[in-house]
Amino acid sequence: MERVDILGVKVDAVTMAQAVERVAELIAARTPSMVATANAEMLLRTTHDAELKSILNAAKLVVPDGAGTVWAAHHLGKRMPERVAGADLVLELMRLAPARAWKFFLFGSAPGIADKAALKAQELCPGIKIVGTRNGYFTAEDEPDIIAQIKHSRPDVLLAALGVPKQEKWLAAHMNELGVPVSIGVGGTLDVMAGAVKRAPVWMQRARLEWLFRAMLQPSRAGRLVALPKFVWQVHKQKVNG
């Protein structure tokens, strides 16, 4: 599989269909594997977070989540077929889940959100097995219980929605112990599924403006937009310096 180096992180040049196929292979392999969804903000963060960078480079699949990641690959003269948004990847996997008997555990977000997301999943994908949920607000003392809960429910796919980089670091620290075949850091996906946060309208997604929609809806996130010009600048520096 082709991987494109963006700011030192190897991002897989995959379509949605290829990403889904790869996840299916990882589930079948049964060895604990991490799947990451790399957007511009995450990639920029790796320039000053070496731990996150090495976690991403050890992941079995890093999908281009976001217009910024696809743009970066193209600016560097590489092939990157399409955007594979984490929220869309999760939905595609959930659609296949009943037929393939894949079981999901939803971990993260505010209390009640993962349960609402589970109900939505059952409505959208009848027959899907959500074997457990747990909110993402916990202390170090709660961790053994959380780990035991996930382990004993034996999911095939663990969705961790703790935000970047907490979810990636938590998964890297615990995935071998958890023994779940595929763990994915999914950011705000459970909020979107639960209906607590709206996804941008399709025309805005197509116009590559989902980031703008999110900032408009949650002004507290607007400050995070400064990452975008910084990301563009860093990618350009990478291109010039080779």
Residues that bind ligand UDP (CB under 6 A): 108-110, 136-137, 161-164, 166, 187-188, 190-191
Q: What are phi and psi of 125, to 5 degrees?
A: -130, 75
Q: Give me the least distance between CB of 127 and ligand UDP, in Å please.
A: 26
Nearer to ligand UDP, 99 or 141 (CB): 141
Q: Find the shortest distance in angstroms from Cβ 192 to ligand UDP.
A: 9
Helix (H, G, I), strand (E, B) or coil at 105: strand
Whichever of 102 and 107 has its CB closer to ligand UDP, that residue is 107
Angle between helices 16-29 and 86-100 (to 10 degrees): 50
Cα distance between residue 138 and residue 112, in whole Å: 14
3-class SS of residue 154:
coil
Nearest approach, Cβ of 143 to ligand UDP (angstroms)? Answer: 12
**Least CB distance to ligand UDP at residue 48 (A):** 16
Closer to ligand UDP at the Cβ: 109 or 234?
A: 109
Q: Minimum Å distance from CB 181 to ligand UDP? A: 22
Residue with tokens 């790869």: 22
Both tokens of 24, joined, read: 């299916």
What is the Cα–Cα distance from 20 to 175, expressed in whole angstroms? 20
**In the complex, which residue's CB is closest to ligand UDP?**
136
Residue type at 6? I
Q: Closest CB to ligand UDP among 24 and 205?
A: 205
Nearer to ligand UDP, 7 or 161 (CB): 161
Nearest-CA neighbor of 60 among 164, 162, 171? 171
